Amino acid sequence: MTVTETPVTSEAARPAPRRRRRSANRSSRDAWVLVLPALIPVLILSVVPLARGVYLGFTDSRAGLGIKTHVIGFANFSKLWHNSLLLESFRIGLIWAVSVTLLQFLLALGLALLLNEDLRLRWLARTLALIPWAMSPVIVAILWKLLLSPTVGPIDITLNRLHISQTHINWLGDFNTALPAVIIVGVWVGMPQTTITLLAGLQGIPSELQEAAAVDGANTWDRFFHITLPHLRPIIFAITSLDFIWNFNSFGLVYVLTAGGPGGKTMLPMLFAYNEAFRYGNFGYAAAMGDVMVLVVVVFLGLYLRAGLRRSEA
């Protein structure tokens, strides 16, 4: 995510060069000073464990008392390449991540626009919109499992009464509906963070611009596409890329909802890696999966951000 810095205007020509030279020296030093407090804890508690995690992918690290770890190069990775179940989980993971991120973004944008309007009881609406965020993940999964239950859940019964579905369907247990159902829950869970971020971004757009454009005769759609969206662009990219990353890496929610079933239809890659590390004790193999997941998402994001940059320069 690069920032295109607007060049200094030529209004003050003579002080400019001196200021620029001074700020070039100062900017590096300033940057270091501003970053320093974060550095040591980050190094110890984040960089070191991450480095070890990534490194483990190249070893045969396993659980066990007194087990020695040996570097085995790319052996884990070639094993991964032939693990058809893992590859299938990547496919499901990408479908899941793209669907949830896209739906989340579209719905959240709509909600953010609404919450930006001068509606009555706006404070209440803004608070209620954050309900999914306020609830502990421990309870969210259990709650949605109950909501979608064909026996004690209100959703199935309501759909039956409205004649949208004919019989009782176990939405989380049916082979055809499990992934879509899980995606909807994923969207529900992730909406607040996206909504709030977009709302904060919308707040940063000067209302004068909108009013000036309205005076000039632009209608709502024009204003949306030519003022709102361009202003939101950096924030949209920031939050959708983060959302995609989180969604791809999520597994706690789906684990409780379906445990990867039925028949592996909702087996996400993170669940695979978690099982490998925690249930079978193969830390090295699981770390290799993690390394590949990082790579896949980086490639995906790289393409995404490059496409976004190209469009902004057009």
How far is residue 118's CA from residue 125's CA, in Å, rounded to a whole number?
A: 11
Least distance (Å) between residue 246 CB and other proteins: 7
How far apart, in whole angstroms, are the C-alpha atoms of residue 230 and residue 112? 16
**69-77, 97-105, 190-198, 306-314 -> range binding other proteins (CB under 8 A):** 190-198
Q: Is 43 in the site for other proteins (CB under 8 A)?
A: yes
Contact region for other proteins (CB under 8 A) — 51-59, 69-77, 91-99, 306-314? 51-59
Euclidean distance between CA atoms 133 and 142, whole angstroms: 15
DSSP structural state of residue 59: B
| 162 interacts with other proteins by CB under 8 A | no
Among 182, 239, 253, 257, binds other proteins (CB under 8 A): 239
Asked if 97 is part of the footprint of other proteins (rule: CB under 8 A), the reply reads no
Q: What is the dihedral of CA 137, 142, 148, 152, to 10 degrees?
A: -150
- 221 near other proteins, rule: CB under 8 A: no
For other proteins, which stretch binds (CB under 8 A), given 47-55, 69-77, 94-102, 306-314? 47-55
For residues 56 and 54, give the distance between their C-alpha atoms in angstroms, rounded to a whole number: 5
Please state, as a whole number, how many other Cβ atoms lie within 10 Å of the Cβ of residue 106.
12
Q: Which stretch binds other proteins (CB under 8 A): 69-77, 96-104, 206-214, 306-314?
A: 206-214
| Residue of 73, 118, 216, 221 that binds other proteins (CB under 8 A) | 118
Q: Which residues 6+ apart lie within 8 Å of 195 measured at CB?
A: 108, 111, 112, 115, 129, 130
151 lines the binding site for other proteins (CB under 8 A): yes
Q: Which region, judged by CB under 8 A, interacts with other proteins, from 68-76, 90-98, 297-305, 306-314? A: 297-305
Q: Say whether residue 136 binds other proteins (CB under 8 A).
A: yes
Q: CB 131 → other proteins: shortest distance, Å?
A: 5
For 37, counting Cβ atoms within 10 Å of its Cβ (0-12 exposed, 13-18 middle, 19+ buried), the class is exposed
Cα distances (angstroms) measured from residue 82 to each of 114, 116, 184, 217, 227:
49, 50, 32, 60, 49
Show the binding pattern over residues 17-36: x = contacts other proteins (CB under 8 A), - = does not: --x-------xx-xxxxxx-
CB of 289 to other proteins, least distance (A): 8
Pick the closer one to other proteins by CB: 95 or 299. Answer: 299
Residue 293 interacting with other proteins (CB under 8 A): yes
Q: Is residue 55 a contact partner of residue 272, using CB atoms and an 8 Å limit?
A: no
Which CB sits closer to other proteins, 47 or 163?
A: 47
Report helix, strand or coil for 172.
coil
Interacting residue with other proteins among 13, 152, 162, 164 (CB under 8 A) = 152
Give the count of residues interacting with other proteins (CB under 8 A).
141
**217 near other proteins, judged by CB under 8 A:** no
Shortest distance (Å) from residue 137 CB to other proteins = 6
Enter the tokens of residue 111. Answer: 């909600």
CA gyration radius, the chain: 24
C-alpha 285/C-alpha 274 separation (Å) is 11
